[in-house]
Chain A
Amino acid sequence: MYSTAHPRDYPACSGCSLCRLVCPMWRHRRDPRFSPEGIAKARQNGAGVTELADVLDACTLCGACDPVCPEDIALSDMIMDLRGELELPPDLAVLQVGYAQAAAQAAPAPAGALLLAGAALRADPTLLTQVEALLGLRSAGDDGADLAVALEIGGDIDPQRKRRFLNAIDGRSLVVGDGLLLRELRRWLPGARLQGLGEALGSLPAIRRRIASTDFYVIEARAFHADHARLVAHYDGLRKDRGCAMNLDLQRIAMPARASAYPALRMGPAREDLEQARWLLQGRRPARIVIEDAAERDVLRRVADVPVLHLAELAALNEVTVYA
């Protein structure tokens, strides 16, 4: 179990359906079973994990349902806990083992503040170098990628492995690329200075001033929802400052660009990802799309014919070009 004890659990669900409005798996299927409400209500009616397997497996863990639930039910935690009782998807179990082996062989973390890049950013070494240079940070060889997979698939986390990871990073300032890991680190290291990649890069003046009013800015959903009350103000400030459109709905919830399960682990976009990305862009005519999460680049490129740039890539652009 990874989640902390919850004061509120599924019995508190009133059936208000507010969580459906923000849930990508509901949006894609329009089937109440495929929603946090559906899971909570099914649990209230005695459904076990096996009955819910398809639904649990379809959740993107975007975390959008957490801040909107008026009953404060920790919905994505509930889903992660339940996923832990399902059989592991074999391809992802293999991935987890691979990441764990790499972590075991990684060099000790360099001194000072650290970047925990995460799998998606690591998959693009040029981008990773740019991010490191911009933030003035070095990457930890062990960035907890195996733990992030375990969180996502509900796999077991070896307490020793977790301790080793946390001992190596405790007491440092951390910028974390994986939204799910970031969320968990906030619980594991309550006093730590932690930032998501998007927030860290977007706070740099060299990047911030290159965000244009004609941009469509795609916030990484997991990191955002994990600290929603604070970050909603951060992004509201960015939106007011730069005038760009964002992937925020009317409730100020970030619509993820992808709607398939395990989006960062299964890199190639699925059909529902394309549909979700099209919905994100519906009615918008941006000159560029700016992303925080490298894993969302591919799907957005497929549905839009404008440049899709990672936040870090803005720094290399000539400011004049940006505002031209």
Chain B
Amino acid sequence: MAPDALQGIVRQQTNPARWNGKAWSAFVADLQALGVEVAESAATRGIFATDAGGTAYGLPHGVVIAQSATQVSALLKAAQAHCVPVTVRGGGLTTEGESVAYGGVLLDMTGMSRVLAIDPVTMTVRTEAGIYWHGLAEELRRENLDYLSAPLNMTSSVGGTLGVGGIDVNSARLGCSADQAISLQVVTPTGEIVECSDNENAELFQRVILGYGQFGVITEVTLRIRPYTPLRMHYYYYSSLRTAIEDLQLLDRNDASDYSGILTIMDCAVNLLVAFDSDEREAAFKANWQQRLRGYGEFGFALCMAGHYALRPWRIGEALYLFRRKQAVFPEFRRPEFHRDGRMDDRTVVFSRAVWKHWGSRNMVIPDLATSADKFIEAVERGNKVCRKFFRHYTLYCVGIRLRPEHKPHYEMSCVPPDAEGWAYGCEFEPMIEGEVYSRDHFQSFKNAIYDIGVDLGASYYRFGGMMKGYIRRVFGDALVDRHLAMKRQADPAMILNRDVIF
């Protein structure tokens, strides 16, 4: 048995069964009487037929566009009464079908996407939870403010992100987005509207944060914010992934940079990005750490690669691929309209545009592994081997996540691996589809092979819900899952909220 293809794991390759529609009409009539619109046209339902992953498909019976906590509360109360499943969706950027509704109601949170108050004194913002991080950035930037950390994807929503994690290239320093939340307004599965934080209804707060929407719908959020600074970006190039990861972890351990992460083009062309909010931090890095990094600058690396391929002319195809990829992707990261005086205005705009343009397609197949710092290199190397088996070209994105010891209860049964102390590390494995046609089974087998590594290593995953549900008991163990299931049953007696995502 190959270590990266464990046998005996039940492969969950299909969508969950579609809800049978029992009592749908009575449910809709109840909601209509309360003034809640349920859109039932195929055109509206079709908007939500899949998620960013594009491998799970399901249609809701109807769509409710979130308007207010009161409306969401009415919806959930009626759903409990009629046992109608409700699937909550923010940006829909899940990849395992977690935000796809297999019947029942799809609750689209982007309807609640207004900023409610910005407080530059306490450095906080109160916002509706369906807002896209990019929408929030647009509003904060008018006041010369910024959020702390968010996915490098403009269309992830705040609420959806707090439910799953939220990793930025500054997470090695500032932690995940979920750790930035000070308090939440939550509508519980039975329809109560509750404010919660570390000090108020703390248990609910702990379960909702990183909780994949199992314990309530997040309708409003208070987040920490900070003064806006454009950032100065540096790129270092490596031909060894292991060396790059060692250097990444060195920087993170020593708080040597404000932003750090690894993005590969190929196994032999690895890019470590390092960036700074201020000249002082940049100067300190240059004085103390830069010379310890083993990567090259762009020109040095190009020479290195030229030498490498000159000695291996039979690998000209690989060299050409590398060159083409560089020509296509690099300019995207350097577009002058997104830079001023050598500084990048908005990392999320630059990275998100590049990701959708050069990696995106109707299938975002991006399985990941989240491990403790010391297991990370092994996880990445094993994952890489799996990628090689399934695809010609693929890229990796690796980043550190600073953990907050006081948030340990939030991390229980989440993407944060149970054995991680100080930092967790995440690696996303992303095949380049490049116009090729692969079967859904091919994608699924690839994902399973990556996820198997997580089971073997005792790791966790950024995306562990939806079609990955089969892994949850294996990675977290029956005792923990049963404890959470009991809490879920108590909070959601009819088990209507985001059913089939985790339990």
Contacts and interface: CB of A to CB of B under 8 A. Distances in A.
Interface of A: 14-18, 20-21, 30-33, 37-38, 41-42, 44-47, 51-52, 68, 70, 232-233, 236, 240, 249-252, 282-284
The secondary-structure label for the interface of chain A is loop
B110 A32 contact: yes
A30 B113 contact: yes
B140 to A, nearest CB: 9
Given A21-B155, A250-B346, A33 B43 contact: yes
Nearest to B113: A30
B91 interface: yes
Contacts of A252: 337-338
A154 to B, nearest CB: 19
B132 interface: yes
10 contacts: A14-B52, A15-B92, A16-B52, A30-B112, A51-B43, A68-B353, A70-B356, A250-B137, A250-B349, A251-B154
Nearest to B144: A283
Nearest to B42: A45
Nearest to B51: A15
A67 to B, nearest CB: 10
A15 B143 contact: no
Contact of B45 (A45, A70, A233): A45
B22 interface: no
A283 B154 CA distance: 21
B362 interface: yes
B336 A236 contact: yes
A18 B154 contact: yes
Contacts of A52: 43
A51 B143 contact: no
Interface centre among B92, B111, B114, B362, by most A CB within 10 Å? B362
Given A251-B353, A283-B142, A14 B43 contact: no
B360 A14 contact: yes
Interface in B135-171: 135, 137-139, 141-143, 154-155
B141 A21 contact: no
B108 A32 contact: yes
B44 A33 contact: yes
Contacts of B47: 15, 32-33, 37-38, 41-42, 45
B361 interface: yes
B46 interface: yes
Nearest to B63: A32
B42 A47 contact: yes
Contact of A21 (B114, B132, B361): B132
A46 B413 CA distance: 41
Contact of B65 (A18, A30, A46, A47): A30
Contacts of B130: 30
B322 interface: no
A283 B155 contact: no
Interface in B375-405: none
A42 B43 contact: yes
A15 B268 CA distance: 33
Interface in B23-57: 39, 41-47, 49-50, 52, 54
Nearest to B153: A16
B357 interface: yes
B221 to A, nearest CB: 16
Given A233-B336, A283-B143, A70 B65 contact: no
Contacts of A233: 336-337
Nearest to A30: B111
B277 interface: no
B113 to A, nearest CB: 6
Given A232-B337, A250-B345, A18 B46 contact: no
Given A20-B155, A41-B47, 11 more contacts: A15-B362, A17-B92, A21-B154, A32-B47, A32-B110, A41-B43, A233-B336, A236-B337, A250-B138, A250-B346, A252-B338
A182 to B, nearest CB: 21
Nearest to A236: B337
A38 B138 CA distance: 22
A235 B113 CA distance: 30
10 tightest Cβ-Cβ pairs between the two chains A and B:
A283-B142, A45-B46, A47-B43, A42-B43, A70-B356, A17-B155, A41-B47, A70-B357, A14-B362, A252-B337
A38 B142 CA distance: 28
Interface in B451-502: none
Contacts of B46: 41-42, 44-47
B54 A14 contact: yes
Nearest to B39: A33
A276 to B, nearest CB: 14
Nearest to B134: A21
A284 B141 CA distance: 11
B155 A16 contact: yes
A121 to B, nearest CB: 28
A74 to B, nearest CB: 16
Contacts of A282: 139, 142
Contact of B91 (A17, A42, A236, A283): A17
A236 B92 CA distance: 33
Nearest to A240: B340
B356 A42 contact: no
Given A15-B50, A41-B47, A236-B337, A30 B360 contact: no
B134 A250 contact: yes
B341 to A, nearest CB: 9
Contacts of B142: 282-284
